[in-house]
Structure 1
Amino acid sequence: MPAPAASPVSYTRDIQPILTDKCVACHACNDAPCQLNLGSGEGVLRGANKVPVYQGERSRAVDPTRLFYDANGTAAWQRKGFYSVLEPHGGQAALMTRMLELGQQKPLPLNSKIPDDIVLGLNRENLCPSPEEFNGYAGAHPTQGMPLAVTGLTATEHQTLQRWLAAGAPIDQQPLQANAVEAAQIKEWEALLNRPGASQALVGRWLYEHLFLAHIYFDNGDPGHFFQWVRSRTPSGKPVDIIATRRPNDDPGRTEFYYRLVPVQGVIVHKTHITYALSAQKLKRVQELFYNNDWHASAVPGYGPGHRANPFLTFEAIPARARYQFMLDNAQYFVNSFIRGPVCRGQIATDVIRDHFWVLFQEPASDLYVDDARYQGQATPLLAMPGQNDDVGSVLSLWLSYKDRRNDYENLRRDHYADAPPADWSTLWKGNDNALLTVFRHFDSATVSKGLIGDVPKSTWLFDYPLLERTYYQLVVNFDVYGNIAHQAQTRLYFDLIRNGAEINFLRLMPANRREALLSDLYQDSGKIKMWLDYQRIDDDTPSRLQLDEKHTVRDFARQLIQRMGPLNAAADPINRCPASGACVRAGLAPQLAHAEQVLSRLAAKPAGQLKVIEWMPEATMLRVADSSGQREVYSVLRNRAHSNVAFLLGESYRYQPRLDTLTVYPGVLSSYPNFMFNVPAGEVEAFVEAMRQVSDQPGFERLVERWGVRRTHPQFWSLFHDLSRYIQEHDPREFGVLDMNRYENL
């Protein structure tokens, strides 16, 4: 009898799981190589494009190419410069077919380093060969097929993909749809944001501009179902017809439009997965904040550059307390949006923040902008932000104008707060567990976590409403990732002023006679020049009511803060802040894992001068520790680089203080972009830590990697790499997403 015919390959059942497992870790979002997004059938059909999205030096802005947003259908994408990776060309197989075959021809030796001629990381220049250029590419780069520089496809996976491609690459993927429970809540929220009337329209616009980036989820929604706000030409109940604008506060081009919720399509990737809950309780909260107050807007402002540059003017009719409190209620979301958002991709974007700092928020009742109408009226015109004019020749004059305006505001703030009651512990907001946040910068990316993590940092930021709102608008709403060098430079220069403002706000909590010394420590060496050129004089006269140790002021503040905040601190951290008892371990761990964690604490908070291995450690290393029963814990081992100051966009190497680098060791995955991974049995953690402490040179570090490291060519690379995502799924399912490996290093 003839062998039964093989069943047809299904894209949804057979192909997308392979792409998710072996390709999406690189090919997703804006920074997918060659803009080839393999997280959905739509992305696969769209194909590739030679123009990189992230290209900060370009003199002219480029057209946006956001998947599911800026075009629909293959023909529309090809008009934007995309070319197919699925269609045969010139008598040759499809580009994807040939790239996969090239990847199979010369597999790399198991757990070996990648050859030096294969450039990895963000500095890689992606060649993006078109179908007619492939033969030349393959001849010049015979070891650079796909997947690139990593353990490749299994024989079965390769055969399945090739069968699908040979059959014409049919895609049967159906768009995700809301279930009945989600649809009912969507109807309620769309009704809220689309209420008639000027006041209601103003609130709807403000809420949309603050939630457009969020991955929304609902009470009793299906796992993996997330939604995003868009503007549509069609009202609720009709198919969404998206109005695609560069930024969410650009003119929609019509007077009648509607705020709609649409499902997030495709594979969820962690780096863009910034979640936000909408619920009956949240609906009640929004009504309480925005609709139960006696205020009125006579008209809805326009969308011109002036209104985009100054949201305080645009939304001044809405009570500032309502706006600020809404942001405070979910402060982690807002800080996440500008720390993990597109502006913070790339070294220049993150050069002006430190590697580790804590974030606090000012209580609304002590915020003069919220409670003092006269002060608010004086401050509002000074809070406009740059970036609307992208004329390259005008960058300097525009920057100086906005810098002067910002400094006028800082002078106004300093003088008015000098006449206000002195700062005390009631100055700090403590409404919920969003009150205390920690930011880690990983050279060219950053992450935000609830709670106070790590040893006491050198810098702490204190946001009031004007600073929080400006940061959000400058780095999220008004930032155009497709913009030119003038736009991006203005955005990032202003970010430096934002950081300085947050640090100055915090210093108001410190004793008056210690503020200058603390500020000087933040701005050492060349930072003094920046203080003279760009920043304003601080208030070193008005007292603080906090009783702090004169010698160890910041550390004593941290000690008292942790004691006072109690349960609001979502991140008790005995590993990095070992208690006097010496039990540097969390409660509730299995015995082997508890002992391992205690041993790992020996690595925490030691400067590189005492722990030389730090010199060779990447920014964000993941450590997987498994006991004999199969239970495992995952830790982030984060390298905190020390700098004399972070006041400049460029020249980081001149300000770097390598002997002061430290490690933070913390349970969980605290980066969307793992740089490397160690897999250590719990019984070998003592040996691993001792080996770390003994490393004194490059060969010593390489021996460490050889024994416990998971290189890109490790036979279990994909299983171990995706176990990091599984760990997230087990501990916080809604935060689950595929991690990015574009920054995984070749150690």
Structure 2
Amino acid sequence: MPIFFLLLASLLVSQPLSAASLSYSRDVQPILTAKCVACHACYDAPCQLNLGSATGIQRGASRVPVYNGKRIEADATTRLFVDAQTEEGWRARGFHSVLGGGDAALVARMLELGRSHAPLPGSKLPEDLDIGIRRETQCPRPEEFADFARKNPRAGMPFAVTGLSDGEYATLRQWLAEGASLDGEPLAANASEAAQIAEWESLLNRPGTSEQLAARWLYEHLFLAHLYFVQGASGHFFELVRSRTPSGEAVDVIATRRPNDDPGTQVFYRLRPIQGVIVHKTHITYPLSRGKLARVEELFFAGDWKAEALPGYGPQRRANPFETFAAIPARARYLFMLDDAEYFVRTFIRGPVCRGQIATDVIRDHFWTLFQAPDHDLYLTDAAYREQVTPLLALPGVQDDLAQLPLYWSASRARRNAYEAARREAYSHLPHPSWSHIWAGNDNALLSIFRQHDSASVRKGLIGAVPQTLWWLDFPLLERTYYQLVVNFDVFGNVSHQAQTRLYFDLIRNGAEQNFLRLMPPAQRQAILGDWYQYSGKLRLWLDYEGIDRHTPSGLRLPADHPKAAFAERLLERYGTLNARPDPLNRCRDGRCFRPAAIPALQRIDQRLSSLAARSLAELPAIEYLPEATLLRVELDGGGREVYSLLRNRAHSNVAFMLGESLRYQPEKDTLTLYPEVLTSYPNFLFSLREGEVNAFVASLQQARNAADFERIVLRWGVRRTHPQFWALFHDLSEHIRETDPVEAGILDMNRYQNL
């Protein structure tokens, strides 16, 4: 929402509205969207209280945390709009009301507590106030609130941040006092969207064994997507679900734990509108168009392949999608994923779970991803090889008996290493990998990944300095990662399931790295691998990973000195037209460190800020005091503003272990990537300054040598959680995304906003 409209809304509710004019959808939800949704959305919402819709606030709160790395048994699923459809249904699942009781409602009392203990404007929060996402949340019931408030006077809402305006507070209190009625119609498709929905549902519900197998594979690859129609400009998004009812009837969702669990009944694939406020962290978009419909028809429904029977469901079918969908040509499956590779990598890197450290602590803070060309992917081109290795591609985690965890892990590691050995042997007899072996089909071919501790982001294009590691994914790597971290992953699962998921993703990362090493000169591969697996990582190499190919030549003519850097330089030259995000700030070579197409004012800002880009902590000591994801907002003298991301890339000696990550930090090697875009869903901090202050800001960061120096920078330009204009400035970041890439816009998350 633009700042203008936020301020206008605040003015409109500066006085309590008359009883006759109060409406939840018109008067209340906009306040919740502006001041509450940034924390209360997704699975990491405190007490599972989701305030992005009337359905969410009616569901209420639960004491059961979704994120629990110690649970022995899987928890019941509590997915909004899926696992229960009525208030009574949610009460049966243990959720309690936050609305009942008028002035005594939990929401009213939490707002009153927050208002009576509001933080001092512009101040740093007390050090003993835990604002971290792993803080203990108590989720009191109404009868427990007095004791809770006495023990936790600073725990009111909005929590540890600038609160509601007088008008907003009055409106919410009046609405609660009047009974907290909920109104508003569910979002529905317009006529154009309904016609396109009918076409897609017709395609996905065709009769026939082969057709239904293809539809099932497509559903399992699109169930997470926020689908949108390219031909429409409504801003509506849709999701693909399994329903008991056919097209033309109301959707009746089949609520299985996983999308590949047995539905227990006849399935109809349906598209339904996504309800509630769009939040950036779960907004993983996928376009539908006439061209896409034709592409799906061509890949899956126009060939001469045939499935003799549907494979059924069960643990083995979940564990090995390569066997389950063997009848569908592997080339069709891979091409479909490559067409929108950014989407598929986003599903498991950015993810829908909103707290992804189980996966992200396996990856580097910054790396690039490439894909193997289908014509040179042996799994696609050699039927005998495909038959040989398919049984070895089974995934762990579908059996979650804790007592059997060591046996499950040992067996899956052995299978994976046997596959790597077979793969290495088979590829050693093929033409040596060259540039033609790297897929270059569209601008999804080059991706950049940035990790920020327990979250990560993906963007098309090669952003940042040449990273320490690169991944080269083929179809078995891409599909296994997708099934392991998306289709088969259960955020409500027990410790055995989550441990197996984490451990196997470590093997997948290693496989992607090993595949990239095939492009390097044989004599340099071991040294590059040793740089990736330093110290304790060498032990992991010996214990758990299959050895690399040290002998088969590469088809690339790379120098023995710094072959990875030479590869990156030639990649940028050869694939320049596919690089969606050229980066003159972090890879400036000719002194012109700015975007050529930008207006002169932005070019001057780019040029000055570039002196911070791609610097190490040794060169720029202030990096030590920056969190992982800092945003910089620059107001232009001529109107408007630009937003830059300052990403701290933490260096590690290796990322091969589940525990003890901080012991493997190499802070002196940390680097800073600076790029003119919002590259995170979870800002850790914001600096806001005017165009004329850029030079002073840069100079201050360059000169900062200690915490006191950095504190002065925060005091001058920092936007603390208590800043009087915090919410307007924070939401302006989302507005910037809406202006520059409207399809990707959504409310950013502030659960990780730090107390600098």
Q: Which TM-score tier does this pair reach, normalised by the shorter chain?
A: over 0.9
Partner of 1:414: 424
Is 1:190 aligned with 2:193?
no
Question: Any idea what the Cα deviations from partners look like across 1:20-68, whole Å, max 9, x if unmatched?
Answer: 0000000001111000000000001000000011112111100000000
* CA-CA distance at 1:498 after TM superposition: 0.5
Distance in 2 (CA, whole Å) between partners of 1:293 and 1:511 is 40
Partner of 1:712: 721
Which runs of structure 2 are paired with 1:133-148 in the superposition (5 Å)? 133-148=144-159
Partner of 2:586: 576
Is 1:466 aligned with 2:482?
no
Which runs of structure 2 are paired with 1:45-56 in the superposition (5 Å)? 45-56=58-69
Which runs of structure 2 are paired with 1:133-282 in the superposition (5 Å)? 133-254=144-265, 256-282=266-292
- Of stretches 645-654 and 17-26 in structure 1, the one that deviates more from structure 2 is 645-654
Mapped contact 2:281–2:352 kept (Cα < 8 A): no
Distance in 1 (CA, whole Å) between partners of 2:303 and 2:600 is 55
Change (3 A) 1:605 1:6: same
Is 1:88 aligned with 2:115?
no
* CA-CA distance at 1:4 after TM superposition: 11
In structure 1, what residue type is equivalent to 2:688? N
- Of stretches 587-596 and 450-459 in structure 1, the one that deviates more from structure 2 is 587-596
Is 1:744 aligned with 2:743?
no
RMSD of aligned Cα (Å): 1.2
Which runs of structure 2 are paired with 1:489-508 in the superposition (5 Å)? 489-508=499-518
In structure 2, what residue type is equivalent to 1:538? I
In structure 1, what residue type is equivalent to 2:74? A
In structure 1, what residue type is equivalent to 2:172? L
Partner of 2:608: 599
Partner of 2:7: none
In structure 1, what residue type is equivalent to 2:230? D
Question: Any idea what the Cα deviations from partners look like across 1:347-406, whole Å, max 9, x if unmatched?
Answer: 343111000000000000000000100000001000000001110111111000000000
Distance in 2 (CA, whole Å) between partners of 1:63 and 1:229 is 22
2:596 to 573, 587, 592: 587
In structure 2, what residue type is equivalent to 1:239? A
Is 1:622 aligned with 2:631?
yes
Mapped contact 1:355–1:642 kept (Cα < 8 A): yes
Mapped contact 1:439–1:446 kept (Cα < 8 A): yes
In structure 2, what residue type is equivalent to 1:52? P
Distance in 1 (CA, whole Å) between partners of 2:665 and 2:154 is 36
Is 1:345 aligned with 2:355?
yes
Secondary structure of the 1:357 match is strand
Partner of 1:129: 140
Is 1:698 aligned with 2:686?
no
Distance in 2 (CA, whole Å) between partners of 1:596 and 1:682 is 8
Distance in 2 (CA, whole Å) between partners of 1:157 and 1:23 is 12
In structure 2, what residue type is equivalent to 1:472? Y
1:34 to 38, 41, 47: 47
Which runs of structure 2 are paired with 1:311-710 in the superposition (5 Å)? 311-342=321-352, 345-580=355-590, 582-710=591-719
Secondary structure of the 2:227 match is strand
Distance in 1 (CA, whole Å) between partners of 2:410 and 2:566 is 38
Question: Any idea what the Cα deviations from partners look like across 1:177-233, whole Å, max 9, x if unmatched?
Answer: 000110111111111111111100100000000000000001333432100011111
How many pairs were matched up?
Answer: 741
Distance in 2 (CA, whole Å) between partners of 1:485 and 1:44 is 30
Secondary structure of the 1:547 match is coil
* CA-CA distance at 1:664 after TM superposition: 0.1
Partner of 2:12: none
Mapped contact 1:433–1:569 kept (Cα < 8 A): yes
Distance in 1 (CA, whole Å) between partners of 2:552 and 2:391 is 26
Distance in 2 (CA, whole Å) between partners of 1:220 and 1:448 is 25
Secondary structure of the 2:686 match is strand
In structure 1, what residue type is equivalent to 2:242? R
* CA-CA distance at 1:342 after TM superposition: 4.2
In structure 1, what residue type is equivalent to 2:397? G
Partner of 1:68: 81
Distance in 2 (CA, whole Å) between partners of 1:272 and 1:645 is 29
For structure 1, the 5+ residue unaligned runs are: none
Is 1:77 aligned with 2:87?
no
Distance in 2 (CA, whole Å) between partners of 1:382 and 1:348 is 24
Is 1:310 aligned with 2:320?
yes
Distance in 1 (CA, whole Å) between partners of 2:531 and 2:231 is 50
Mapped contact 1:223–1:734 kept (Cα < 8 A): no
* CA-CA distance at 1:547 after TM superposition: 1.1
* CA-CA distance at 1:241 after TM superposition: 0.7
Secondary structure of the 1:602 match is coil
Change (3 A) 1:467 1:4: closer
Mapped contact 2:60–2:98 kept (Cα < 8 A): yes
* CA-CA distance at 1:7 after TM superposition: 3.4
- Of stretches 665-674 and 623-632 in structure 1, the one that deviates more from structure 2 is 623-632
Change (3 A) 1:669 1:496: same
Distance in 1 (CA, whole Å) between partners of 2:19 and 2:64 is 40
Mapped contact 1:344–1:446 kept (Cα < 8 A): no
* CA-CA distance at 1:699 after TM superposition: 0.9
Mapped contact 1:342–1:481 kept (Cα < 8 A): no
In structure 2, what residue type is equivalent to 1:736? A
Is 1:11 aligned with 2:20?
no
Mapped contact 2:43–2:353 kept (Cα < 8 A): no
- Of stretches 588-597 and 30-39 in structure 1, the one that deviates more from structure 2 is 588-597
Mapped contact 2:44–2:354 kept (Cα < 8 A): no
